[in-house]
Amino acid sequence: MMARTLAEQLAAHFGAYDDDALTAGNRAAVKRLLLDYLGVAVAGSQTGSGKVARAYAASTGGHGQATLIGDGARVPAVQAAFANAISSHSVELDDIDVLALFHFSPPVYSAALATAEQVGADGRALLAALAAGCEMMERLSKAANNSLRNRGYHTTPTCGTFGATIAAGRLLGLSQEQIVSSLGLAGAQAGGLMEMYGPSMQKRFNPGPASRNGVTAAGMAQLGFTGAATIFEGERGFLAAFTDENDPGRLVADLGQPYRLDIEFKPYSCARPIHNAIDCALEIRREHAPDPARVRRIGMARHPDWVLYHQNARPATYHEAQVSLPYSVAVALTDGQALFAQYNDARLQEPLLRRLSELVEISVDESLPRGVSCRMTLEMDDGAQYVSQVDYPKGSIQNPMSDAELRAKFDSLAVPVIGASRAAEAAALVADIEQCRDVGQLMRLLSPAG
């Protein structure tokens, strides 16, 4: 008997996946992320990048199958997945994996929700699709990283395309054979570059095609379009094309065992590897209350995994500021927080923030225990020194945000856009999503009344 390819093994696994396969931990994780995703996407839909994405999706025409978050327009599922993924990545508050390599929800949740509306799925089917899509995405990241990232590919879209495909495929009821083909078609569309840091909206765009392409791959496979079964391990397959080093076995490791999804959440409106540095600054501020005007030097030791990233001390736009460690540390020291309000173009030229940003000296320390670890040394003009090291940032598995904190985050993002009544109704639906008979009922709440 011919050995099964990786795609065939994954298809057998995900083909048998349903709501009953969810562990209690994974059920809680994907439900918590659903509330978080919706709040972030609602807020993101009102940003410049979110507005453009919505306008583009609405301009394409076609059958109204799914809802654009933020305005309620009905568009084809592929366009809803595209625009909602961009919206959910537009305020830098979306979830993160434990290694800070990718975001689960923009590609996977956007594809799943659009497809769920398209087919009239219920909440139980949605949860199973979300968990399956997240698992697929993380398995591929584990097989491909850190080589994928180090070669310049952005994990969220490259691996997210496959996660979106599995999520959409589950909701479309694909057979195992069709799932194999859909994974091949996902590979034909995988991509996304790390050349995205700068003053433009480039970073916001990346999850959009991944989510759209996942819906496309699943839909084409459902109609009979076949794809390569060797898409992962083939001579010119995903792993060979996107990595220099990889571990194919991690794609299918322990397929018969319960899979633990470790999903982390973001309390700060910036790139996740910066959060440890912000926590260092907030800890020093809380314990020592240093006068920001009297700071003489800010040393920031980082692990080799991330030391070459986020170094821009003079961001020109808030997009750049959200991937700037120096600016984020500066605003944390002065404001005591790093929410979306702190990242706006008007703040970037404030003399104190500019001065503090330029004082940050980033260095490498191989002894730090985790890729995102940071150790900050703050020196004052009188010679006083304050030190803080953070290995697990707020929102991580080891330092989690509570349900109450996640609900407060959701309300802070959603209420200004859709109002308190709709926000409360949406949160209640998410909390009891297993009883929801039509996911469209939830999606219709995610725009301003009227």
- Answer yes or no: do 167 and 206 share one domain: yes
CA nearest to 372, candidates 248, 256, 268: 268
Whether residue 403 lies inside any domain: the answer is no
- At 46-73, the pLDDT tens digits run 999 999 999 999 999 999 999 999 999 9
Shared domain for 110 and 156, answered yes or no, is yes
Q: Is 449 part of a structural domain of the chain?
A: no
Residues 308 and 439 both lie in one domain = no
- For 147-171, the pLDDT digits (tens) are 999 999 999 999 999 999 999 999 9
* Lateral strand order in the sheet of 295-302: 360-364, 295-302, 374-380, 385-390
- Total of domains in the chain: 2
pTM: 0.93
In a domain, 283, yes or no: yes
Q: What percent of the chain has pLDDT over 70?
A: 99
Structure tokens, 296: 């003489």
The H-or-E segment that residue 136 falls in is helix 123-144
Mean pLDDT of 274-289: 98
pLDDT for 348 beyond 80: yes
Does 247 share its domain with 335?
no
Task: Report angle CA 166, 435, 130 to the nearest 5 degrees.
Answer: 15
Please spell the DSSP secondary structure of 137-184, one letter per residue: HHHHHHHHTTHHHHTTB-HHHHHHHHHHHHHHHHHHT--HHHHHHHHH
| All residues at 6 or more sequence positions from 88 whose CB lies less than 8 Å from its CB, including other chains | 37, 40, 41, 44, 69, 94, 105, 106, 109, 110, 207
For residue 262, pLDDT over 90 is answered with yes
Q: Check pLDDT > 80 for residue 3.
A: no
Q: Are residues 258 and 276 in the same domain?
A: no
In a domain, 398, yes or no: no
Pairing of strands 295-302, 66-67: unpaired
Range of the domain at 306: 272-390
Judge if 260 and 282 occupy the same domain.
Answer: no
Top pLDDT among 110 and 19 is at: 110
Average pLDDT over every residue of 295-311: 96
At 182-232, the pLDDT tens digits run 999 999 999 999 999 888 999 999 999 999 999 999 999 999 999 999 999
Q: Are 439 and 377 contained in the same domain? A: no
What CATH code is carried by the domain that includes residue 280? Answer: 3.30.1330.120
Helix, strand, or coil here: 264? strand
Sign (positive/negative) of CA torsion 281, 284, 287, 288?
Answer: negative
Q: Per the domain annotation, does 259 fall within a domain?
A: yes
Selection from 80, 55, 77 nearest residue 68 by Cα:
80
Across the chain, what does the average pLDDT equal?
A: 96
Indicate whether 413 pLDDT > 80.
yes
Is residue 137 in some structural domain?
yes
pLDDT value at residue 1:
46
Q: Given pLDDT bands bounded at 50, 70 and 90, which one contains residue 415?
A: very high
Q: Are residues 122 and 239 in the same domain?
A: yes
CATH number at residue 109: 1.10.4100.10
Residue 2's pLDDT is: 59
Report if residue 214 sits inside a domain: yes
Residues pairing with 216 in the sheet: none
Average pLDDT over residues 314-335: 96
Q: Are residues 257 and 283 in the same domain?
A: no
Answer whether residue 400 is part of any domain.
Answer: no
292 and 217, same domain (yes or no):
no
User: Do residue 420 and residue 319 come from a single domain?
Assistant: no
pLDDT at 115: 98
Q: In this structure, are 323 and 260 located in the same domain? A: no
- pLDDT value of residue 21: 79
pLDDT at site 198: 85
Please, what's the b/e burial string for 277-315 (b: 16 or more CB within 10 A of its CB; e: otherwise)?
Answer: bbbbbbbbbeeeebeeeebeebbbbbbebbbebbebbeb
